Amino acid sequence: MIRTNAQLVENIFDAKTIAQAPTRDGYGKGVVLAGEKDSRIVVLCADLAESTRSLWFKEKFPERYVELGVAEQNLATIASGLANYGKIPFISSYAVFSPGRNNEQIRTTISLNNLSVKVCGMHAGVSVGPDGATHQALEDIALMRVQPNMTVIYPCDAEEARKATYAAAFHKGPVYLRFAREKTPVFTTKETPFEIGKANILWESEKPDVTIIGTGPLLYNALTAAHELEAEGVKTLVLNLHTIKPLDADTLLSAAQRAGAVVTVEEHQIAGGMGSAVAEFLAQNHPVPMEFVGVRDAFGQSGEPEELIEHYGMGVTAIKEAVYKILKRK
């Protein structure tokens, strides 16, 4: 059942009434709030102010907004210079371009120098929809989590995105924040706990058979799967792993020990993503059977968001199938 202290919305499983918003909206609200608190915060964008919601900061603080045009490598490098002299820059573009196109500049000028630049990758995953493979970032978590000093955060809904953006502003060092284009259920509330580096248990059966670890908006599918599985007699624990780096070692270890099997869920390549990070940790600390829900060594394609989620095996049914598969391996 839903954990009481998770403070989620009451109508979480009512698809007709639950509020929906894109996580990029949470970024837009969060960066404005952070800008109101600290005048060192500046926003740089690569010709995508409206799409990324950086426009909201530009309208509130035009003197602290820099439009660089389609020049993502400049975006990162200029931000590193600003950070070196005391500013707290947020840089925003589509994730395929930042951190995709400018990965080397992020590595060499930001991460290597441990500078407090916040890299905001928008329109991540196949749920970008009709834009197709060229604009569907599926490798960005892998690119960012291997860089020393980099913190990696993937919020599950617009409310958590607001909290994550605000928290990232005052977190020392570089941060990668991953956001989605399409509207998704807003199932957390202002009261739902959020702390960088701290995973949250959202669903908890008394004696779980499987731990499901989700990150980003697909966490809602994981919760829906857990709800359906409970009715089918399968007990689960669902973990919100919004911070992929650094991992919450204590919570991960406890969740794996309690259930003895783990399923990870993410809208990203399985190779190098959140599931890989979890597997690396558990292999060293508490090996258990694992299944991975995500994109399997493929590029995206044009289509409707939900259609693509199902096509690439990341829907509720696919998560349940992974759970039943792993139960046979325990």
Residue 178 and residue 96 in contact, taking contact as beta carbons nearer than 8 Å: no
Non-local (6+) Cβ contacts of 122 within 8 A are: 24, 27, 48, 51, 52, 92, 93, 94, 95, 179, 180, 181
Give CATH 3.40.50.920 domain extents, the chain: 4-12+192-327
Which class in CATH covers the domain with range 4-12+192-327? Answer: alpha beta
pLDDT tens figures, 156-195: 999 999 999 999 999 999 999 999 999 999 999 999 999 9
Give CATH 3.40.50.970 domain extents, the chain: 20-185
Count the Cβ atoms, other than its own, within 10 Å of residue 179.
31
The residue type of 318 is: A
Count the Cβ atoms, other than its own, within 10 Å of residue 43.
29
The pLDDT of 265-283, averaged and rounded, is: 98
pLDDT at residue 221, rounded to an integer: 98
Q: What is the mean pLDDT of the chain?
A: 98
Per the listing, tokens 């928290």 go with: 167
pLDDT at residue 299, rounded to an integer: 98
What confidence category does residue 203 fall into, taking pLDDT thresholds of 50, 70 and 90? Answer: very high
pLDDT tens figures, 61-79: 999 999 999 999 999 999 9
CA distance 326 to 261: 7
The pLDDT of 261-282, averaged and rounded, is: 98
The pLDDT of 255-273, averaged and rounded, is: 98
Closest CA to 239 of 228, 258, 44: 258
Note if 307 is an active site residue.
no
pLDDT at residue 58, rounded to an integer: 98
pLDDT tens figures, 8-57: 999 999 989 999 999 999 999 999 999 999 999 999 999 999 999 999 99
The pLDDT of 69-98, averaged and rounded, is: 98
Q: In DSSP terms, which residues pair with 214 in a beta bridge?
A: 240, 265
The residue type of 320 is: K
Looking at 59, 72, 104, 206, which residue is catalytic? 72
CB-side neighbour CA atoms (13 Å) of 51: 17
What is the C-alpha end-to-end distance of the chain, expressed in Å? 23
CA distance 278 to 115: 26
What confidence category does residue 134 fall into, taking pLDDT thresholds of 50, 70 and 90? Answer: very high
CA distance 45 to 113: 21
Residue 84 and residue 110 in contact, taking contact as beta carbons nearer than 8 Å: no
What confidence category does residue 326 fall into, taking pLDDT thresholds of 50, 70 and 90? Answer: very high
Q: Which fold has domain 20-185?
A: Rossmann fold (3.40.50)
The pLDDT of 275-287, averaged and rounded, is: 98
pLDDT at residue 246, rounded to an integer: 98
SS3 165: helix
Closest CA to 51 of 117, 131, 126: 131
